[in-house]
Amino acid sequence: MITYECRTLRTLADEERWPELLGLYRESRAIGAALRGEAQGAAETAPLGHLIAYGAPPELAARLFDQDGEPGSAATVGDHDAGPLWEVLATRHSWLRLAPLLGPARVRRLVRHTRVLLGERLDPGDEPDRDGVPLALEPWEQAGWEPGGRVREYLRTGGARRSLLTLPAGREGLGPVELPEPGTQVRELAATRLLAAAVPWATARCVRGSGPAAAARLATVPRVTGGYLPFGAVYPALLQAASEGPGRGSAQGRIAIWQLLAAMTGEPGLSEVNTLVARLRCFTWHEPADELRFVHLALEDPATGLAWAVSGAAYETPG
């Protein structure tokens, strides 16, 4: 158990006593995991892990994930405070600095994709992604937002800032729409399962029909304020929806969306995904109960006659 008060930990950080803080982290996490379970041990040490991931030199901060100590002493992909510890680390140092230091494959993968989202150019031949997710942003991934908005902005002493999740973001370009009869539901498709897994706090459906026909499956009223937007305009909010909650990072959201798009094409590959994105018709709408954090989106593929809809509101989500 960590016995220092938070202000003492911050004093040690101010004095850059990083080896001492790392030793305290690893010891406390191992003890907590042994006595109270892995999840509780991770939660108790997360604020200290955040301090180290944010402020320590990369050679030391990367050791948060080293698995060469006592059982339970290393941070995992799931360790988080205001956000995943691996994402905090990835916002602080380039992949060039971190690549020689990180061991666990899952951590390496997520850090790499975080650096891609932040605009770092990586060697395409360096550790190709196991699912074929490119190590460079496609033009439609860059539209509509700046690099600084793609990942949480972490604060030194804890906490993070992030843009508000709303899709649609406003009513500009939208108008009154009378939704048609709901489309015939199509079940047991991989893309539907992936959409539901990407945004677990929302409801996902697939129908044979148009985007509005898919929206009619989930909308709470027959007449909405809605309209079509290009995929590049909805991608930022969709990525944020897929990384909602402190235990998920933007890299996980990006990977989830690429897996979804690949499943929708039926022929995974960069050119196939780009062709799909170019033809997708994205219908988005407002709900009467919308407040602060919500997503209402239908992805219509004219080539297959299928449309996928996802709709829900995010409140306090579990990590």
Q: Could you write out the DSSP letters of every residue in 114-176?
A: HHHHTT----TTSS--TT---SS--HHHHTTS-GGGSS-EE-TTS-EE----EES--STT-EE
Contact residues for 15 (Cβ-Cβ < 8 A; gap 6+): none
C-alpha closest to that of 226 among 279, 180, 183, 185: 180
Cβ(192)–Cβ(308) below 8 Å? yes
* Last residue of one domain, picked from the residues 132, 161, 190: 161
Task: Mark whether 185 and 153 lie in a shared domain.
Answer: no
Contact residues for 229 (Cβ-Cβ < 8 A; gap 6+): 168, 173, 282, 284
Task: Mark whether 11 and 157 lie in a shared domain.
Answer: yes
Task: Mark whether 38 and 153 lie in a shared domain.
Answer: yes
Domain of 234, in residue numbers: 166-313
* Last residue of one domain, picked from the residues 134, 161, 188: 161
pLDDT of residue 314: 84
The one-digit pLDDT tens for each residue of the chain (319 residues) are 444 456 688 888 889 999 999 999 999 999 999 999 999 999 999 999 999 999 999 999 999 999 988 999 999 999 999 999 999 999 999 999 999 999 999 999 999 999 999 999 898 777 889 999 999 999 999 987 888 899 999 999 899 998 888 999 888 889 999 999 999 999 999 999 999 999 999 999 999 999 999 999 999 999 999 999 999 999 999 999 999 999 999 999 999 999 999 999 988 789 999 999 999 999 999 999 898 889 999 999 999 999 999 999 987 443 4
pLDDT of residue 317: 44
pTM recorded for the entire structure: 0.93
* Last residue of one domain, picked from the residues 161, 190, 211: 161
Structural Rg of the chain based on CA atoms:
21
d(CA 223, CA 65): 51
Task: Mark whether 20 and 83 lie in a shared domain.
Answer: yes
pLDDT of residue 5: 58
Note whether residue 93 is domain-resident: yes
pLDDT of residue 3: 44
Note whether residue 18 is domain-resident: yes
Task: Mark whether 308 and 191 lie in a shared domain.
Answer: yes
- 228-247: pLDDT as tens digits: 999 999 999 999 999 999 99
Task: Mark whether 154 and 55 lie in a shared domain.
Answer: yes
Task: Mark whether 229 and 113 lie in a shared domain.
Answer: no
- 153-212: pLDDT as tens digits: 999 989 999 888 899 988 888 999 999 999 999 999 999 999 999 999 999 999 999 999
pLDDT of residue 1: 43
Task: Mark whether 11 and 140 lie in a shared domain.
Answer: yes
Note whether residue 28 is domain-resident: yes
pLDDT of residue 6: 65
Task: Mark whether 119 and 62 lie in a shared domain.
Answer: yes
| Number of domains, the chain | 2
Task: Mark whether 77 and 137 lie in a shared domain.
Answer: yes
Task: Mark whether 170 and 156 lie in a shared domain.
Answer: no
Note whether residue 318 is domain-resident: no
Note whether residue 1 is domain-resident: no
C-alpha closest to that of 207 among 199, 219, 197, 220: 219
Task: Mark whether 98 and 150 lie in a shared domain.
Answer: yes
